[in-house]
Amino acid sequence: MNINRSRIYKTDVIILKQAPFLEKDRLITAYSDDYGKLKLIAKGIRSPKSKFGGSLETLNSVSLTIIKRNSLDLITESYTNTTYLNIRNNLSLLSKSMYWIELIDSLSVENEPIEKMFSLTEFTLNLINENQCNDLSLRYLELKLITITGYFPEIFKCIYCRDTLIPKDHYFSFKDGGVFCEKCTNHSSSSLLKVTLDCMKLLRYLNREKDITKIQNLEIDKFILIEIEKFFISYLKYILEKDIKSYEFIKSISNKEFQ
């Protein structure tokens, strides 16, 4: 996508990550509503007298003024909209946020905005910051993310014979992007994951429900919660073609909380 922008442009971003660059600079990776993922230079940020202060820390929501250059564009001004203070003071909330940020970084491409990705990320970080993002809410948000990036699978019809699925356990193929009915499983181009009827019902419910407060308060059997978590993580790993490092961080923290 060719995005026209003037030599100096302004945009709101979420900071995804930063890395040292040359002696006193940092390379900032951010996601913006207007331009998708951006890689930008913050000059002099590593000097103690830097005008940027802590405004470009990972997770911050920031308004930026940027100068276009032939190489990496340069941040000239930053205004912090929120730093998500509760997240920074709670390891469990931080681990969920870093997981989300890793998904956004992995699913987005430079200068190719994905509709609703910025607003979904702000919504997610606010929910986590308010400590309102339980496991099922996170699955709901993953489903939204899969939907806006075009990876939402077929869960209503057999992807081979197109028959409407009858209520029983089904077989899911990541590679084929959907579910096979029992009689068509030998047409899959990859190995199949068995998805129980209860898990499938929950997937469909998450797909149609618009009100997150209903999802937050839903009582779900823990075995179905475990199954749907495995389903989403396996599918996301397949889409990203890699492990999700920060997911291991979430698991290590939740395991410690149980000890």
Q: List residues binding Zn ion (CB under 5 A).
A: 158, 160-161, 181, 184
Sheet with 178-180, edge to edge strand ranges? 178-180, 170-173, 193-195
| Residue 172 neighbours by CB distance under 10 Å | 24
Specify the residue, 52 or 160, whose C-beta has the smaller distance to Zn ion. 160
Specify the residue, 14 or 158, whose C-beta has the smaller distance to Zn ion. 158
Question: Minimum CB separation from Zn ion for residue 164, in Å?
Answer: 10
Specify the residue, 3 or 166, whose C-beta has the smaller distance to Zn ion. 166
Question: Minimum CB separation from Zn ion for residue 38, in Å?
Answer: 44
| Whole-number Å distance between alpha carbons of 67 and 87 | 31
Tell me if residue 153 falls in helix, strand or coil. Answer: coil
Structure tokens at 123: 């919504």
Specify the residue, 109 or 161, whose C-beta has the smaller distance to Zn ion. 161
Question: Minimum CB separation from Zn ion for residue 176, in Å?
Answer: 11
Contacts (Cβ under 8 Å, ≥6 apart) of 182: 168, 170, 171
| Whole-number Å distance between alpha carbons of 220 and 207 | 16
Question: Minimum CB separation from Zn ion for residue 229, in Å?
Answer: 27
Phi and psi, residue 115, nearest 5°? -55, 135
Specify the residue, 104 or 158, whose C-beta has the smaller distance to Zn ion. 158
Question: Minimum CB separation from Zn ion for residue 111, in Å?
Answer: 41
Structure tokens at 190: 């990859």
